[in-house]
């Protein structure tokens, strides 16, 4: 037994060291995007690569595999949900994933994707798909090759999906998405046949310091802990962490649009509440992070949309917002404001899309990814496939590739496959978790009217956050909601909310 | 030859990796002191230790020793001052130093010093020397033990001095300091027998943002490159770097004292000008840093004192400062201002001391360090030795240990030996370098009257900065000034400047 304890301690020490390298690399990246002077750029790229490389080398060390082997019987003797059993189980999966990939493939992929990203940054403004086409062809080839290192898959996209949404399969996602699409398309049609909501009052002048102060006060009230985090400004907002005690978010401000800082802060704070809520016992281990891209996104969307765009939330906050901006909002009723921040429209760009149409953007990409991986869609035919599907789902055709197939960075800086499904899985799960939380605490919506979010936050912490990566996404969903992933609560949520706003 | 090139390339790759780990650790530390929320503290300490440990392990790897052995004949075939010859020569010294120290000793030392520092932070405010005495005794024991790992030294302090001022010896420093003390004590006596300079106008209210803006404009004009640096606020100001393209300084503001931000910024910018001036070809190698604590300090002191407290400098900047603060300085003449910022007085605290008395503080500490290491002074007798020497040099006795022997962090967070001499070596060298620069560019003082610092900065860059660690401090001094280290220019500088201010 003493030997087992020593081995477990050694495994934890090694994993903490690897974790520390990764966290340091994250700080290098955060600094690059917030405060680094331009002269630091060249060395910074090399420094981040060095730290990632050393972390990778230390992780694929056969000693880790041997420790995992030796600890397997002990781990299996423990309850499935104990920290130690989960550590050995999850680390084993990570280890198998990491060691199956030859270092030469990893190097080839990084080199190619860096070049591809560079070409895309020029091709997109130039609306030049031909320029990226050969890079995209190579990316597709490498994406397929990646999957080949994990034989035994059901669908060639599955190993790619595993990277961000472990435990989900192309088949299960396809089924969920097909059901969702059947329900969504009529809702979108019904809404967009009506008059557009007026949100002109969001596009007045709102001074930066006031926007920042208001958004900060909101996320503080939602439960974001500033003793274990902070906000800085970046070009694109994001959440990052350097330990469970240091979970930061970034934001940007548009003085001519009130919706930017506010909803972006709530979105990133949602991600941060997840990370801040992880059990401190999991610190510096592979378990000390969010479990999947879908579950992570479910939390940013819960706080941004289900809470931050709800009527109840604004019953409390709108008088405060009006006091902050009397000239701009003094004459706008709560009802008009609530309708304005929930404006639904057919638009070209995913990242600008509203809560209802957003999923159509995601599903389009997911289906095209599968078709490319299956060999049914060649890269040269991608723009046409994009535009025809867009016409089908949205009733409009993108005027150019810049705001069509070239709009997202994902395929140009990463694999084709597994890149997008997490966004919509997040939307689906946000409603499913919220629903379960409401069953446990029926007063949640009434508490929101008082600016109180403790019951919701507490339920999410107990049932989702604290577990970190101990359970896969399907396991967390089952444990937290008592059912497998389902679109029913999400469709119900959309129908109730938008039925009221648009009398569907 | 191809084999030599491969080995040189491999050495450089390994050293760059080690450098990257060190730079990342520096960023972790900078972030801890600038922006990190308190919740990040525990993990941050562990992360910095992890990175330092891995860097150390990679550096003492016998492969480095083998590469250095194999490259030695090649390096010796090159000119002494070539980059590659210098790299092999300097890395060999670093490698010998690092590998002679057993890892267990390093671990014991870090653990002890962390505890000692912690006890000191409580003992100093409590004026409790007895509390630190056992820790200091252990530190002295470890300091002596450190030197024993480098047998063949002339004086037991020499290996400790080597850590910060490689190439200097206790004997040579003792000789320099004795000469300096003989000259300084009468000057201090002569000045302090006269009326104190009036600097009451520095202690009015100066708003933070104005102080920051003025100090920033000054260091920009001195040559600090903001494309390769930035300023942030910390409790104690410092200079740090993450690459030769990213050399940052920090500052603090006292709204009731104009001298704080301004002179601290110039001081730290002096350190930064040195680092920003290093040849980019030395980036990410052991040569890409300042060569010694003394030479580094010479640059902060050159810019802070020889430039920043000179009459010529203020001929240009004082009208600008008066325009910024008309209410506070409108009625103060340039002469009075210049006298005020060069006020000399006998004071208890080294870090608050003026340019003239500062060295007496340093020499006192240096002599006590040597006596302790030689076994001639026991820790229990240190407070008394401190106070009696202070009475001898300053004519006053510290009222308590808090502002006496307990005032500096150095002995409580580091070794006894080698900790202080760099400050006075820096003062001595600042004048010696400045003198040589003036011989090459006799217009330097006149240029300063025009707010132009290019000739001075250019000379220092060519003769000191660009070389990084290629040459030891004695080598740099000899090459740059044509003579060995000497107190003559410094004494001449003090006599000229203070002779005028105090009619000595």
Q: Do residues B302 and B433 touch, judged by C-beta distance below 8 A?
A: yes
DSSP A238: -
CA quadruple B323, B324, B327, B330: dihedral, nearest 10 = -40
Which of A57, A194, A162, A71 has its CA nearest to residue A415? A162
User: Quick check: B461 pLDDT over 70?
Assistant: yes
User: Quick check: A69 pLDDT over 90?
Assistant: yes
Query: Could you tell me the two tokens for A416?
Result: 């084709």
Report yes or no on A189 lying in a domain. no
The confidence band for A264, taking pLDDT boundaries of 50, 70 and 90, is very high
Rounded Cα distance between B468 and A100, Å, is 44
Report yes or no on B21 lying in a domain. yes
Report yes or no on A417 lying in a domain. no
Select which of A268, A275, A304, A369 is catalytic. A268
Q: Which residues of A touch B (CB under 8 A)?
A: 16-17, 20-21, 23-25, 27-28, 31, 35-44, 46-47, 50-51, 54, 225-230, 232, 242-246, 248, 283-284
Which pLDDT tens digit goes with each residue over A384-431?
Answer: 999 999 999 999 999 999 999 999 999 999 999 999 999 999 999 999
Mean pLDDT for chain B overall: 97
Domain at B276, CATH number: 1.10.1370.30
Which of A202, A280, A190, A209 has its CA nearest to residue A241? A280
Per-residue pLDDT, B228: 98
Based on the domain organization, do B448 and B299 belong to the same domain? yes
Per-residue pLDDT, A503: 82
Domains of chain A: total: 2
Region B171-181 average pLDDT = 96
Per-residue pLDDT, A155: 98
Which pLDDT tens digit goes with each residue over B306-358?
Answer: 999 999 999 999 999 999 999 999 999 999 999 999 999 999 999 999 999 99
User: Burial code of A154-179, b = ≥16 C-beta within 10 A, e = fewer?
Assistant: ebbbbbbbbbbbbbbbbebbbebbee
Q: What is the pTM of this model?
A: 0.95
Secondary structure (H, E, C), A275-295: HHCCCHHHCCCCCCCCCCHHH
CA distance A227 to chain B (A): 6
A43 → closest Cβ in B21, B31, B243: B243
Report yes or no on B394 lying in a domain. no
Q: Which of B70, B100, B130 is the last residue of a domain?
A: B100
Q: Which residues of B touch A (CB under 8 A)?
A: 16-17, 20-21, 23-25, 27-28, 31, 35-44, 46-47, 50-51, 54, 225-230, 232, 242-246, 248, 283-284
Phi, psi of A254 (to 5 degrees): -115, 115
User: Quick check: A450 pLDDT over 80?
Assistant: yes
Write the CB contacts of B155 (distance below 8 Å, at least 6 apart in sequence). Answer: B169, B170, B171, B370
- Across the interface, whether the CB atoms of A246 and B36 are under 8 A apart is answered yes
User: CB atoms < 10 A from the CB of B352, how many?
Assistant: 12
Rounded Cα distance between B493 and B266, Å, is 19
User: Quick check: B239 pLDDT over 80?
Assistant: yes
Q: Do residues B116 and B410 touch, judged by C-beta distance below 8 A?
A: no
Which pLDDT tens digit goes with each residue over A216-233?
Answer: 999 999 999 999 999 999
Report yes or no on B109 lying in a domain. no
Q: What is the chain A residue with the closest CA to B23? A: A47
Query: Could you tell me the two tokens for B473?
Result: 């401090």
CA distance B285 to chain A (A): 12
Based on the domain organization, do B321 and B459 belong to the same domain? yes
Interface predicted TM-score (ipTM) of this complex, two decimals: 0.94
Q: What is the chain B residue with the closest CA to A232? A: B35
Per-residue pLDDT, B38: 96
Report yes or no on B278 lying in a domain. yes
Q: Do residues B448 and B313 touch, judged by C-beta distance below 8 A?
A: yes
* A268 catalytic residue (yes or no): yes
| Three-state secondary structure call for residue A240 | strand
Per-residue pLDDT, A2: 75
Which pLDDT tens digit goes with each residue over B34-44?
Answer: 999 999 999 99
Domain enclosing residue A276, as ranges = 200-347+441-471
Instruction: Count CA within 13 A, CB hemisphere, residue A95.
Output: 22
Region B99-103 average pLDDT = 93
Q: What is the chain A residue with the closest CA to B230? A: A37
Region B439-462 average pLDDT = 98
User: Quick check: B503 pLDDT over 90?
Assistant: no
Report yes or no on A174 lying in a domain. no
Rounded Cα distance between A138 and B228, Å, is 37
Based on the domain organization, do A445 and A317 belong to the same domain? yes
Which of B191, B323, B215 has its CA nearest to residue B266? B215
Based on the domain organization, do A206 and A59 belong to the same domain? no
The confidence band for B1, taking pLDDT boundaries of 50, 70 and 90, is low
Based on the domain organization, do B435 and B293 belong to the same domain? yes
DSSP A239: E
Select which of B268, B297, B311, B369 is catalytic. B268
Q: Which residues pair with A233 in a beta bridge?
A: A251
Q: Do residues B177 and B424 touch, judged by C-beta distance below 8 A?
A: yes
Percent share of chain B, pLDDT over 70: 100
Instruction: Count CA within 13 A, CB hemisphere, residue B126.
Output: 10
Report yes or no on A498 lying in a domain. no
Q: Do residues A228 and A246 touch, judged by C-beta distance below 8 A?
A: yes
Based on the domain organization, do B84 and B216 belong to the same domain? no
Rounded Cα distance between B423 and B420, Å, is 6
User: Quick check: B103 pLDDT over 90?
Assistant: no
Per-residue pLDDT, A103: 87
Based on the domain organization, do A217 and A334 belong to the same domain? yes
Q: Which of B62, B85, B100 is the last residue of a domain?
A: B100
Question: DSSP assignment of B231-251, as one string?
Answer: EEE-SS--EEEEETTEEEEEE
Q: Which residues of A touch B44 (CB under 8 A)?
A: 242-243, 246
| Three-state secondary structure call for residue A325 | coil
Which of B487, B475, B389 has its CA nearest to residue B431? B487
A230 → closest Cβ in B35, B47, B230: B35
Phi, psi of B248 (to 5 degrees): -105, 155
Mean pLDDT for chain A overall: 97
- Across the interface, whether the CB atoms of B284 and A25 are under 8 A apart is answered no
């Amino acid at each position: 037994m003493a030997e087992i304890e020593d081995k477990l301690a050694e495994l934890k020490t090694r994993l903490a060291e690897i974790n520390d390298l990764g966290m340091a690399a994250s700080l290098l990246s955060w600094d690059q995007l917030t405060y680094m002077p331009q002269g630091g750029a060249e060395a910074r790229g090399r420094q981040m690569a060095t730290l990632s490389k050393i972390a990778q080398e230390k992780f694929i060390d056969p000693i880790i595999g041997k420790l995992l082997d030796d600890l397997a019987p002990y781990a299996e003797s423990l309850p499935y949900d104990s920290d130690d059993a989960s550590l050995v189980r999850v680390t084993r999966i990570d280890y198998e994933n990491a060691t199956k990939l030859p270092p030469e493939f990893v190097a080839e992929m990084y080199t190619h994707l860096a070049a591809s990203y560079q070409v895309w940054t020029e091709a997109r403004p130039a609306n030049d798909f031909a320029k990226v086409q050969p890079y995209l062809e190579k990316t597709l080839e490498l994406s397929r090759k990646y999957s080949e290192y994990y034989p035994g898959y059901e669908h060639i996209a599955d190993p790619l999906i595993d990277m961000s949404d472990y435990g989900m399969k192309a088949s299960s996602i396809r089924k969920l998405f097909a059901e969702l699409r059947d329900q969504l398309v009529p809702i979108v049609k019904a809404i967009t046949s009506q008059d557009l909501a007026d949100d002109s009052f969001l596009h007045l002048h709102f001074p930066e310091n006031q926007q920042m102060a208001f958004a900060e006060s909101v996320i503080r009230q939602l439960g974001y802990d500033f003793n274990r985090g902070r906000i800085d400004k970046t070009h694109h907002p994001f959440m990052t962490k350097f330990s469970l005690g240091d979970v930061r978010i970034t934001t940007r401000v548009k003085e001519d649009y009130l919706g930017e800082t506010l909803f972006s802060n709530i979105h990133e704070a949602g991600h941060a509440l997840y990370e801040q809520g992880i059990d401190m016992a999991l610190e510096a281990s592979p378990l000390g992070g969010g479990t999947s891209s879908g579950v992570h996104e479910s939390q940013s969307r819960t706080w941004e949309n289900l809470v931050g765009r709800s009527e109840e939330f604004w019953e409390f906050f709108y008088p405060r917002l009006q006091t902050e901006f009397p000239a701009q909002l003094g004459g706008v009723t709560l009802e008009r404001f609530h309708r304005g921040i929930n404006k639904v429209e057919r638009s070209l760009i995913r990242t600008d899309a509203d809560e209802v149409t957003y999923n159509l953007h995601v599903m389009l990409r997911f289906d095209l990814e599968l078709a490319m991986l299956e060999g049914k869609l060649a890269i040269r035919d991608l723009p046409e496939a994009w535009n025809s599907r867009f016409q089908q789902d949205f009733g409009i055709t993108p005027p150019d590739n810049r705001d069509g197939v070239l709009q997202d960075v994902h395929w140009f800086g990463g694999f084709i496959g597994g890149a997008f499904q997490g966004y919509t899985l997040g939307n689906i799960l946000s409603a499913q978790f919220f629903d379960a939380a409401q069953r446990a605490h029926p007063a949640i919506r009434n508490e929101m009217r008082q600016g109180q979010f403790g019951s919701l936050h507490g339920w999410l912490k107990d049932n989702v956050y604290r577990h970190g990566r101990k359970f896969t996404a399907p396991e967390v969903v089952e444990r937290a909601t008592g059912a497998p992933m389902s679109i029913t609560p999400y469709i119900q949520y959309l129908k109730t909310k938008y039925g009221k706003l648009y009398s569907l």
